[in-house]
Structure 1
Amino acid sequence: MRSRPLPVMLLLALMASPTFAHATRTVDEVVAEVRRATEPYRDIARARADGFVQISGMEARHGYHFINVNSPVLTATGMATGQLELARPPMLLYVERDSVWRLVGVEYALPSAPVPNPLPGASWHWHEASCHYRDYQELPARRGPDCPPRHPQSGEPFVLWHPAFAVAHVWAWHENPDGVFAEENRALAAYGGSPPRPHGHRAPRSEPELAYSQFTHRFAGGVLLLLAAVIAWESRHRRPRPWSWVSSVLWILFGLYLIPTSDPESWPAGPGRFVDIFTDSLVLQHKALAMVPIAFGVVGILRSAGVIERVRRTVLVPVLAVLAGVSLFVHFHDGHFHLDAIYVQHAAMGATAVGAGVMLFLARHTPRGEALMRWAWPGFLALLGLILLVYVEM
């Protein structure tokens, strides 16, 4: 079969692309599709359940911005490969009055203004790369590490950074006198805008922080369940190296993962310096807890290598387990004790860790200590993993 000329093949490829297909749609068709996709999100509870979190206060003529935490616009890599999907807007726009939230539109973001324009007549506007803070203020920054750990004026902590992108609005759920794709909506002027937060006032943790914290807790739960299974498998038979090191390597990798991810705004992943860790008790506690699995892994490797003959001959593992568990009883996310669901969950984690440590101590002084550790140690880890896997913070 004779091949088609290259220009013809390129033209066919362009015609098949989503961007080209969107360009042929009318304004009414675009609005209709956006409405179909976002109809469930007229209920803000549904939007929150699907991963949309608030990232701004009430911006005059715009509304409150809610971003999907799974959206590619939060990463430079995702933006570079992103395409416009009308059915999956990365941001929703709401207004609120008397605790009643109303969906008014959506916002799309791409690395640059698309050509051809999939939103007929829309004007794409450039949003610079920015650091976002707990009180919803922003600062421009080309890279995440350039973000100050705290906002220079309000003193509120850094939450997230996003790369630069081109944005366009679709006011699908509220009439706009300037058009469906206008940058602002004058009809929302009556809703006003958020007043500036008084200097020095401590803002509660923002929704992106809550969503991220919940994800990291649950991910840690999955890792602990995996470790429990591997340790149970290892304990059934003595295995030669390197198979005897599997759980130890997993422990070390787990700790190395926790160091940057437990507090992404702090060193080494965020803009904070190493010395700043010691000025924030919560961050310091997170970093210290991340060292516990690393220590478990190192002890396991030393035991497998014969440096430590038997795990029950060292007190390091049970001591660390007990100390880590006790620390969770004084683990307060907002700096103060509150007997709420978050504290109860951390107390349950702490009690499980203390129980595991006590069990290891008992195993060192009982004739059947090895048999006890063979089942009880992975059992406690599995229980702790399950608590983390169902952790709820939002």
Structure 2
Amino acid sequence: MNTKRLLIIGLVVLSLLTLTTAALARSPRQGQASTLVEVVREATEGFQDVEDAQAAGYGLFHGCVSSPEEGAMGIHYVNGDLVGDGALDAMQPEAIIYEMQNGQMRILGVEYVVIAEAWHATNEAPPVLMGQLFNYVSSPNRYGIPAFYELHVWAWERNPNGIFADYNPNVSCEEYNGESAMDETSP
């Protein structure tokens, strides 16, 4: 074989190896995360305006949640009926998260929440939604609710800490001046 042909074959093999390596590097978890973000965006497209969320049964819960070291979770609008039902549905998040920015409420993402006792009435393992394991929050907690599982999904705001991190350093409670802002030092 001539040198030119060997060079072409070598480049083709190298290209195939590079593509295969890139495909393998994308883990199933990353694919599931992208899919869950897409589902959250579809489920909350109609809640860009907080008044639409309120009309659908979501109400303000504990104002704006922040941490001096980690940023903020934002302003949670929670549907109490969904929190207490012991079930999870990707298309019906229990909480929708907003941030007051330039005098306007802007959607950031959601928080899926299920009371631990209600969940374990019909499930042995902790909740998992589209491949994402929930975090457990014991009681007593600063929210004053029974032990629960939660999963944040930052579908509308990039979070450098990760799509599923609780706090987002890009989010602030600075402009929020409504009902009791809750920071990490709150009981």
Name the TM-score class by shorter chain: 0.5 to 0.7
The 1:127/1:39 distance shift into structure 2, 3 A limit, reads farther
Structure 2: distance between partners of 1:187 and 1:120: 26
SS of residue in 2 equivalent to 1:54: strand
Contact 1:123 1:182 in 2 (8 A): no
Mark the structure with the bigger radius of gyration: 1
Structure 1: distance between partners of 2:138 and 2:151: 10
Q: Of the candidates 70, 80, 87, which is equivalent to residue 83 of structure 1?
A: 87
Matches within 5 A, 1:321-336: none
AA aligned opposite 1:59: V
TM-score by length of 1: 0.32
Q: Over aligned residues, Cα RMSD in angstroms? A: 3.1
Contact 2:46 2:52 in 1 (8 A): yes
The offset of 1:116, in angstroms, is 6.9
Query: Corresponding residue for 1:182?
Result: 165
SS of residue in 2 equivalent to 1:39: helix
Structure 2: distance between partners of 1:65 and 1:111: 17
Query: For residues 154-184 of structure 1, what are the alpha-carbon distances to aligned partners after superposition, in whole Å with 9 as ceiling and x for unaligned?
Result: xxxxxxxx42211110011100001111121
Structure 2: distance between partners of 1:92 and 1:116: 19
Contact 2:90 2:129 in 1 (8 A): no
SS of residue in 1 equivalent to 2:45: helix
Structure 2: distance between partners of 1:193 and 1:128: 30
SS of residue in 2 equivalent to 1:186: coil
TM-score by length of 2: 0.63
Q: Of the candidates 50, 74, 81, which is equivalent to residue 63 of structure 1?
A: 74
SS of residue in 2 equivalent to 1:128: coil
Structure 2: distance between partners of 1:118 and 1:64: 23
Query: Corresponding residue for 1:53?
Result: 59
- Determine whether 1:172 maps to 2:183: no
AA aligned opposite 2:149: A
Query: Corresponding residue for 1:33?
Result: 39
SS of residue in 1 equivalent to 2:137: strand
Give the structure with the larger strand fraction.
2
The 1:96/1:111 distance shift into structure 2, 3 A limit, reads same
Query: Corresponding residue for 2:111?
Result: 107
Structure 2: distance between partners of 1:94 and 1:103: 4
Query: For residues 27-85 of structure 1, what are the alpha-carbon distances to aligned partners after superposition, in whole Å with 9 as ceiling and x for unaligned?
Result: 111110111001101111110111111012222210011111432x24xxx3xxx2221
Structure 2: distance between partners of 1:52 and 1:185: 22
Contact 1:58 1:192 in 2 (8 A): no
Q: Percent identity?
A: 28
The 1:69/1:118 distance shift into structure 2, 3 A limit, reads closer
Unaligned regions of 5+ residues in structure 1, if any? 1-22, 131-137, 141-161, 198-202, 205-394
Contact 1:176 1:186 in 2 (8 A): yes
Structure 2: distance between partners of 1:43 and 1:28: 24
The 1:100/1:128 distance shift into structure 2, 3 A limit, reads same
Structure 2: distance between partners of 1:51 and 1:181: 24
Q: Which has the higher contact order (CA 8 A, sep 6+)?
A: 2
Structure 2: distance between partners of 1:139 and 1:185: 19
